[in-house]
Structure 1
């Protein structure tokens, strides 16, 4: 599968780990699973990644070790979300992303295989699941990136301002610049409304 073609004309949707436990999360996942256009879901690490952060000072773990553990935390969240919406297809390669899109199925990314093999990704807490979502959007050729978060951004702001405000990690603007189309942040309720109405397929 040629690089940058797996999700051509597609959409990456990042679901923040802070959404775990939100009452409407299963509803959003079911709406996403019915989405018609090529779509890849990326999850945050949520409480699994928080556990890694808490353990690091206690066990004196290195940043590279925590980087790998946090990516595995994202993998756990992806499996949990896929269980909540069985229509989602877990994928771990560009080939699998392309196959899901060709079958008109919405994919959910299991990041360990690709992210842990990517030597260009910094192995530190500066790189979070937001940047990984932007990175896989670039790698797969997606044309749009939406971050679904518990808090909305300031009106009129963009990736640089989001990073300055701490809404995304400091590396996010670099990776988001590789996405040729819109890069946006939505709340869960706004995303649910858009996906239910199908307006994000436009």
Structure 2
């Protein structure tokens, strides 16, 4: 995979951040990391809050995960720009200013990362704790239309397909697999593309 990319690191991968960052840096990649909310967003959900308050608190949770990633000697950015090196987006101010997506638990950092990739006209790699997207318990190698799944948020596939964001969903707990993907090798993943 050549050129700059957007990579969403799922919040469930907090304990896997170091090898992922190491992989990106070793390859001198231009990566804009979009952090998931992880345990911080889960705490917001557990409060039972909904609507605007929950939306902005969950985005603040993404920002907390972003600072965690930044603590691994990763530069931070707060605006939309094509990355020149490994950078992590602290999304709160950007999203407060642009407010591009519905305020709902149906929109998580998955769809936010797709909006960022679309805005920058860059491909997206979604790193999750699963091998790709499953529908009806069956791994999907290629998706070109919406399918029922619980592996991404309910708005993600609709947004990616409508916006034509070239997307790959791969297991972030398997850095070697990610490395092979970046080298252009065929790996177990889900491609959403055209």
Same fold judged by TM-score > 0.5? Answer: yes
- Structure having the higher strand fraction is 2
Question: How far off is 1:77 after superposition?
Answer: 0.2
Alignment of 1:52 with 2:44, yes or no, is yes
Q: 2:32 aligns with which of 2, 25, 40?
A: 40
- Structure having the higher helix fraction is 1
Structure 1 SS opposite 2:93: helix
Distance verdict in 2 for CA 1:74–1:89, change over 3 Å: same
Query: 2:136: which partner in 1?
Result: none
Partners of 2:47 and 2:118 in 1: how far apart? 32
1:140-179 to structure 2, matched below 5 A, reads: 140-142=120-122, 144-152=123-131, 153=133, 154-158=139-143, 160-161=146-147, 164-177=148-161, 178-179=163-164
C-alpha contact (below 8 Å) 1:134/1:179 kept by paired residues: no
Segments of 5+ residues of structure 1 without an aligned counterpart are 1-8
Partners of 2:164 and 2:92 in 1: how far apart? 22
Number of aligned residue pairs: give it.
Answer: 175
Q: 1:10 aligns with which of 4, 12, 16?
A: 4
Query: 1:31: which partner in 2?
Result: 23
Segments of 5+ residues of structure 2 without an aligned counterpart are 134-138, 186-194
Partners of 1:151 and 1:194 in 2: how far apart? 13
Distance verdict in 2 for CA 1:155–1:121, change over 3 Å: closer
Partners of 2:121 and 2:128 in 1: how far apart? 23
**Cα displacement string for residues 138-176 of structure 1 (whole angstroms, at most 9, x for unaligned residues):** 11221x111111112313242723xx1111112112331
C-alpha contact (below 8 Å) 2:5/2:30 kept by paired residues: yes
